[in-house]
Amino acid sequence: CISQDIDHILEMQSALAVDLGGTNLRVAIVSMKGKLVKKYTQPNPKTFEERIEVILSMCKQAIADAVHQNCRVLGVGVSTGGRVNPKEGVVLDSTKLIREWAGVNVRTPVSSALHLPVWVDNDGNCAALAEKKFGHGKGMENFVTVITGTGIGGGIIQHGELIHGSTFCAAELGHIMVALEGPECSCGSHGCIEAFASGLALQREAKRLHDEDLLLVEGMSVSNKEQVNAADLIHAAHLGNSKAEAVLHTAGTALGVGIVNILHTVNPSLVVLSGILAKHYEGPVCQVIRQRALSSARDIRVVTSDLEEPALLGAASMVLDYATRRTY
């Protein structure tokens, strides 16, 4: 029957998603319904030339494999750390973790080599797009995603669209400051929520406690001091280490206050917490909202993302949504 045929054709339409992180370069074939058909991972090279070369060879492999998976690739979506001009497909500047990645036109070389349209955006923005297409943000006009991983990023959807701001640095949510002084941040400022509540911030505090012989409690061991991390801190707190609890309490309060600041600025109807630490922070964030948000902003819904791969899914969603619009 015809409607089944159409379903079948839609099912076949797919995107190549590229995720450029500090450590890895990943590519995936993603179906219209958000299925990760196949994933590829390589270390992210340290130079621009090698990076573009690896992206192209991984994408070519994925395109070849897509044929066998009966997937028609509509285009390439790229999620990357750093600040992006999505109109031009250019990475304007980046974190220290991705070298030689400033003032780089990603679209042109990828599009020319693969003969496919290419979209590029910031990883936090891609995470928001992923929620909008496949996650808790489906059908939502105004929502915010905050990703707590190694760092803290995010994206803001207003009237159904990402906001990029006048110089493409809207939704740099990790650098919302919640202390006049406070811990130093990778951005050069201090008191940012990233400096309080990111994976790196928790690791810094875990190491500090370990240095002072204050981290380990009965039933815990850490083989290598250099490997002490956020998970150990959370573990210690669960085992009753009050110093570890205090660090996590401050981190949760800082993240919560940062999120209340977002509520009082753009007043979304939903906050999606994403990233490895999301589940851990959901409770503390809700508590801070109850205590410190204006009563009119307090009824916000806060949820933890269900998506396994927000960056890849968001990168794919640009292709899947925009390829049919035929505009960049």
Q: What span, in angstroms and rounded, lies between the C-alpha atoms of 4 and 133?
A: 23
Q: What span, in angstroms and rounded, lies between the C-alpha atoms of 220 and 228?
A: 12
Q: What span, in angstroms and rounded, lies between the C-alpha atoms of 74 and 289?
A: 42
193 binds Zn ion (CB under 5 A): no
Helix (H) or strand (E) holding 282: helix 278-292
φ and ψ of 84, to 5 deg: -130, 140
* AA letter at 89: G
192 among annotated binding-site residues: yes
Pairing of strands 301-304, 270-274: parallel
171 binds Ca ion (CB under 5 A): yes
Would you call 321 a catalytic residue per the annotation?
Answer: no
* Largest distance between two CA atoms of the chain: 71
Q: Which is nearer to a second copy, 216 or 288 (CB)?
A: 288
Cα-Cα end-to-end distance for the chain: 35
Residues in contact with a second copy, shown as a per-residue x/- string from 27 to 56 under the rule CB under 8 A: ------------------------------
Q: Which is nearer to a second copy, 145 or 253 (CB)?
A: 253
- As measured in angstroms, the least distance from the Cβ of 201 to Zn ion is 10
- As measured in angstroms, the least distance from the Cβ of 173 to Ca ion is 7
For a second copy, the binding residue among 27, 74, 177, 277 (CB under 8 A) is 177
Helix (H) or strand (E) holding 250: helix 242-266
Contact range with Zn ion by CB under 5 A, out of 59-67, 141-149, 151-159, 180-188:
180-188
187 among annotated binding-site residues: yes
167 binds a second copy (CB under 8 A): yes
Residues in contact with a second copy, shown as a per-residue x/- string from 80 to 99 under the rule CB under 8 A: ---x--------xx------
Q: Which of 93, 123, 232, 306 is catalytic?
A: 123
The DSSP string of 123-178 is: HHHHHHHHHHHHSTTTT-SSEEEEEESSSEEEEEEETTEE---TTS-TT-GGG-B-
Q: What span, in angstroms and rounded, lies between the C-alpha atoms of 277 and 306?
A: 13
Q: What span, in angstroms and rounded, lies between the C-alpha atoms of 93 and 192?
A: 19
Tokens in use for 128?
């928001």
Residues in contact with Ca ion, shown as a per-residue x/- string from 105 to 134 under the rule CB under 5 A: -----------------x-xx---------
- Say if residue 208 is exposed, middle or buried (CB neighbours under 10 Å; 0-12, 13-18, 19+): middle
Contact range with a second copy by CB under 8 A, out of 55-63, 170-178, 209-217, 233-241:
170-178
For a second copy, the binding residue among 187, 214, 217, 222 (CB under 8 A) is 187
Task: Provide the H-helix boundaries in 13-47.
Answer: none
Q: Which is nearer to a second copy, 259 or 316 (CB)?
A: 259
Which of these, 153, 30, 2, 15, lies nearest to 75 by C-alpha position? 15
169 among annotated binding-site residues: no
* AA letter at 39: K
Compute how many residues bind Ca ion; rule: CB under 5 A.
4
164 binds a second copy (CB under 8 A): yes
175 binds Zn ion (CB under 5 A): yes
Count of CB atoms situated within 10 Å of the CB of 125: 28
286 among annotated binding-site residues: no
For a second copy, the binding residue among 23, 108, 112, 189 (CB under 8 A) is 189
Please report, as ranges, the residues that interact with Ca ion according to CB under 5 A: 122, 124-125, 171
Residues in contact with a second copy by the rule CB under 8 A:
83, 92-93, 141-142, 156, 158, 163-173, 175-180, 187-191, 250, 253-254, 257, 260-269, 291-297, 299
Binding site: residue ranges? Answer: 175, 185, 187, 192
Q: Which residues are known binding-site members for Zn(2+)?
A: 175, 185, 187, 192
Which residues make up the interface to Zn ion (CB under 5 A)? 175, 185, 187, 189, 192
Active site residues: 123
